[in-house]
Amino acid sequence: MTARIAELDQPSLDGVDVESVQAQWDALAPPYDVERWLIPLPLWATRDYDHDGPAAWDVLRTDLALADPDRPLCIYIHVPFCSTKCHFCDSYSFRLPSTRDGEKQRYVRQLCDELRLWSEQGSLASRPVSTVHLGGGTPTFIGTDLLGELCECCRSHFNTSPSTEWALESTAHSLTPEMIDAMGEFGFDRLHIGVQSLEDPVREIIGPRCPADEALGRIAETLGLGWIVSVDMVCGLPLQTIPSFARDIETLIAMGVDGVSLYELLIYPQNRRWAAAQHLTGRSHLVNYLTFQLAAAILERNGYRKNTFNHWAGSRDDNRYFTFPARDEDCLAVGTIADGVFGEYHFRHPRYAAYLRAASASSPGLEGGLRRTAYESEMHALTVAITSGRIPKNLMPYLLERANGAPLRDSWVALRLVAETDDGGLSLLANGSWFAGNMIKDLTGLYPSTTKQR
């Protein structure tokens, strides 16, 4: 690793604590292998549903009738459509020809029907809404009229307020002047823009994308409106180098972006053929790990701090939808494949065709649901803390339990996954961000006699 860092051009490393990166790499030991990092999933996500869709809906209706009427919630709406499917994309989304306006209308009307149905359950219509977040896919693809219809439906049936954050995930090229104006009228004040790379050769090979200068122009324009602008960046893309990725991060910081999420390219069935053609399958993760580490170091040098395990935020950016578990809020999720939670009950929607078939005036068309077991609930606060990037002092007793021969707290500190904080808690280092999923898996070693078999 020292040789790799020495090969980088020095302007990209000016002021970066390279020794800290080196120390984190040197501290790693099995089973923490850079090549075998895990996606951070909560413990309950590794088992089957307790109930199928109709039974899950019955459970939720009963739960919601008894729920705290003052408990805040966030609303997540999934829009799976895109004008084109980017080659690298691992999200659940698909290309819909622009001529198929009827399909877009049908889907938005179904989303609105589902929102109305949920609003009739218990006290949901009056509970305070912290954020309305549209993800995808590319939500802007539905156009200004349908986007306005969806926003009006939320406002009409739920207790949004001037303090509610309205957020939307988008690509730069879909942020036309007309769309930006309409979003301002609808009340949006937060953008998550999928930038991925600012190198035009990289942008061209990962899928149809506007030139980097145009993307930077959209970022500058929306920042100028006072919106909170967060960007997604992906390491492990073809033609990408560590120095070029570092320059991209520095460019975005200089522009004043509010937050940066760092991802490694994931290879799933939907992008595997493209990845194979780019010779990315079977690749080593080491260069991507280094890229991630150095990007994190640059962000932290410039005052950005994590509010989730892979999101570095400035002072304005509380990343509301992605941080709702840390605030102990519920999440009303609607639309295909959307995951939501009320209290200890988690539910999921099916894929697109099944969702269109199953949803009706009396049912949201769920795929299934489950209630956390006693053990899963006991570990829930720890999994949320790990994915939030900070483990508070009150959870330390759990981490003093012995797992694999040593207290987890001691193991994680020795592996430089975490660092001690002044208030007696722990904060994730970049190592911990990379290995957050492995840390959650470590929790299954605590109290093994009570662990539910998967």
Residue 17 falls within a domain, yes or no? no
Counting DSSP H helices and E strands in the chain, the numbers are 17, 20
Residue 195 lies in a domain: yes
Question: Does 235 map to a domain?
Answer: yes
180 and 221 both lie in a single domain: yes
Quote the DSSP letter at residue 131.
E
Q: What is the pTM of this model?
A: 0.93
Residues 6 or more apart whose Cβ sits within 8 Å of residue 7: none
Cα torsion 323, 162, 341, 397 to 10°: value is 40
Structural domain span for residue 203: 51-327
Is the residue at 355 inside a domain?
A: no
Total number of domains in the chain: 2
Which of 308, 327, 346 finishes a domain? 327
* Residue 386 included in any domain: yes
- Same domain as 106, residue 240: yes
CATH number at residue 224: 3.80.30.20
Mean pLDDT by 10 residues, the chain (454 residues): 50 65 88 93 92 98 97 97 81 75 93 98 98 94 96 98 97 93 97 95 88 96 97 95 92 98 91 91 90 94 96 96 97 97 98 94 96 92 96 92 74 95 95 96 69 37
> Do 63 and 36 sit in the same domain of this protein?
no
pLDDT for 89 equals 78
HSE-up of residue 6 (Cα within 13 Å, Cβ side): 3
Residues 90 and 196 in one domain: yes
Q: Amino acid letter at 305?
A: R
10 Å CB burial of residue 139 (0-12, 13-18, 19+) is buried
> In which region does residue 346 sit, left (phi positive, over 0), alpha (psi from -120 to 50) or beta (all else)?
beta
Give CA–CA dist 441/445, Å, rounded. 8
418 plus 322 within the same structural domain? no
Tell me how far apart the alpha carbons of residues 316 and 162 are, in angstroms, rounded to a whole number.
Answer: 17
Same-domain pairing of 318 and 248: yes
pLDDT tens per residue across span 236-290: 999 998 889 999 999 999 999 999 999 999 888 888 999 999 999 988 899 999 9
- Same domain, residue pair 296 and 385: no
Q: Tell whether 366 is covered by a domain.
A: no
137 shares its domain with 285: yes
- Determine the pLDDT at residue 6: 52
